[in-house]
């Protein structure tokens, strides 16, 4: 019968800890949405391809135009994260497919992450009417305001 010695147990513990740390630091890649390949996009021929052709090649769109269904959007992004660090977006694209009245592709346009613009958020708060209540006013403010169970 094999009896483990103290040095072999240490070695086993060291190898197990190293394996656990290495797997915890693996890079994680998340792909969200629909990132069509360039080969797929080239298959779409303006003036020739129909809506059914586009669905067959690219799948259903991520979203449609708000006012007409003549513009389809295929939206996707890829982000990578290493260990506990902040995720980094490595690829983002929006493929815009526009159809004419007959349902044929009129135009395709690809916007990438380089075409994006940073938007500055407004830090202001909208003032509201009324007054600030303390915690006690909030807890006890409604006592006696509602009718009892007598149906008053």
* Pair of tokens at residue 128: 């509201």
Say how far apart CA 104 and CA 92 lie, in whole Å: 26
Per-residue pLDDT of the chain (152 residues; tens, 9 = 90+): 566 676 777 887 877 776 666 666 677 888 888 888 888 889 999 999 999 999 999 999 999 988 888 999 999 998 988 877 888 888 888 999 999 999 999 999 999 888 888 888 888 888 887 778 888 888 887 777 777 655 45
Half-sphere exposure of 23 (CA within 13 A, CB side): 5
Say how far apart CA 93 and CA 35 lie, in whole Å: 7
* Pair of tokens at residue 34: 């629909």
* Pair of tokens at residue 114: 């380089």
Q: pLDDT value at position 21? A: 64
* Pair of tokens at residue 19: 């394996």
Task: Kindly report the three-state secondary structure assignment for every residue of 82-137.
Answer: ECCCCCEEEEEEEEEEEECCCCEEEEEEEEEHHHCCCCCCCCCCCCCCCCCCCHHH
Hey, where are the domains in the chain? 25-117
Helices (H), the chain: 6-24, 38-43, 51-58, 135-140
């Amino acid at each position: 019968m094999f009896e483990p010695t103290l040095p072999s147990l240490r070695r086993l513990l060291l190898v197990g800890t190293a394996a656990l740390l290495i797997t915890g630091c693996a890079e994680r890649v998340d792909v969200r949405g629909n990132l069509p390949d360039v080969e797929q996009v080239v298959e779409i021929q303006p003036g020739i391809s129909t809506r059914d052709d586009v669905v067959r090649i690219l799948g259903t769109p991520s979203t449609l135009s708000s006012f007409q269904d003549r513009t389809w959007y295929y939206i996707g992004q890829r982000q990578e994260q290493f260990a506990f660090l902040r995720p980094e977006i490595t690829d983002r694209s929006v493929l815009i497919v526009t159809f004419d009245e007959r349902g044929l592709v009129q135009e395709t346009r690809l916007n990438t992450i380089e075409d994006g613009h940073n938007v500055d958020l407004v830090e202001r708060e909208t003032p509201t009417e009324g007054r600030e209540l303390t915690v006690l006013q909030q807890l006890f403010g409604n006592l006696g305001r509602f009718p009892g169970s007598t149906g008053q």
